[in-house]
Structure 1
Amino acid sequence: MPSFDIISEIDLVEARNAVDNSTRELSTRFDFRGVEASFALKDNIVTMKAESDFQLNQMREMLRANMARRQLDANSLDVKDFDHIGKSVTQELHFKQGIDSQLAKKMVKMIKDSKIKVQASIQGDKLRITGKKRDDLQEVIAFVRSNSEELGQAFQYENFRD
């Protein structure tokens, strides 16, 4: 039976390159001259530090633009709240890796409700889709792509087997 896996992973090398490019851009921008602002990447978490919330918003948009240049989906970022520490403000951005159980259950329900003749099963942090016809599997891929905004995460498709 044909099958494939739906996964959600981000290329950490490209993520590091996007953060490094954002750091370089930060040092050349006129509106950040003389401002204590920085990016730091450690364990799938980008920590941004600046003097105000407005500057952090600009830095986040700068990072999103650099991620787009590196073909990384901005939906893979989980934005946390601002932390005010003294005169500086920090914010953490987490890269989503894998599909958590609640999202996997929601995706399985959506696929079953779509009436496509496939079976979806949760395999750890990925979903395995099996069906009798290859066309049904391709229909599931199109369905998930069309609903990726609602799901709020970037997905990749691998292990397509006939």
Structure 2
Amino acid sequence: MPSFDIVNKIDHQLLDNAINTARKEIATRYDLKDSKTEITLDKKTLHITIVTDNEMSLKSVIKVIIERMVKQNLDAKCLDFGKAEYASGNMVRKDISVKEGIEKDIAKKIVKDIKDSGLKVQASIMDETVRVTGKKIDDLQEVIALMRQKDYNIPLQFVNMKRD
């Protein structure tokens, strides 16, 4: 039976490229050139830390990071912004975590939406992915179209399309 998986994964190399490009842009931008801005990416935990002078430059840095991610074809919905806190001195620090995988409650909502659509497919939750199987490829493509119309506040990718 044909099947595919619905996942939320981010390409780690593209994220690293986006952060490095953002660092270079911040170093050359006129409004941020003299600020003491640092952006670090922990590749193991997928955690971005920004330390900068003030709230205004923090907003500019976040905007630059999002723009660079979009240019690398990464969806900014995967970013989970923490609260801004004051670091040593008058510096502002912000932690951003990158979300991967589909949480249980969102996966249940996806499965419910697929079942409510009336299409002749089965959807099942497997760890952090949702597997959709059906007898016809056309039904699976309709499920993909349905998922693209909905907003679950996470980026969704459709992978492992198998045609038996």
State the TM bucket, normalised to the shorter chain: over 0.9
The correspondence for 1:138, drawn from 137, 141, 144, is 141
Aligned with residue 63 of structure 1, among 58, 62, 65: 65
d(CA) in 2 for partners of 1:88, 1:117:
56
Aligned to 2:155: 154
Q: Work out the CA distance in 2 between the residues paired with 1:145 and 1:50.
A: 36
| 1:8-47 map, 5 Å | 8-42=8-42, 43-47=45-49
Deviation digits for residues 23-57 of structure 1 (CA, Å, limit 9, x no counterpart):
00110011113211111000211111112222111
Give the corresponding residue for 2:119: 116
In structure 2, what is the Cα distance between the partners aligned to 1:107 and 1:94?
Answer: 23
Structure 2 CA distance, aligned partners of 1:3 and 1:81?
A: 40
User: Which residue number in structure 1 is paired with residue 79 of structure 2?
Assistant: 77
C-alpha distance in structure 2 between counterparts of 1:114 and 1:52, whole Å: 48
Gaps of 5+ in 1: none
Provide TM-score, normalisation by structure 2. 0.93
Number of aligned residues: 160
Once the two structures are superposed, residues 112-139 of structure 1 have per-residue CA deviations (whole angstroms, 9 ceiling, x without a partner) of 1222221110001100001111111000
CA–CA distance in structure 2, aligned partners of residues 59 and 116 of structure 1: 44
Cα distance between partner residues in 1 of 2:36 and 2:105 = 39
**Any unmatched runs of 5+ in structure 2?**
none
Amino acid at match of 1:128: R
Counterparts of 2:119 and 2:58, CA distance in 1: 44
RMSD, matched Cα: 1.1
Structure 1 CA distance for aligned equivalents of residues 6 and 107 of structure 2? 10
Query: Hey, what's the Cα distance between the residues in 1 that align with 2:93 and 2:74?
Result: 23
Q: Structure 1 stretches (4+) deviating beyond 3 angstroms?
A: none
Determine which structure has the larger helix proportion and give its number.
1
Partner amino acid for 2:14?
E
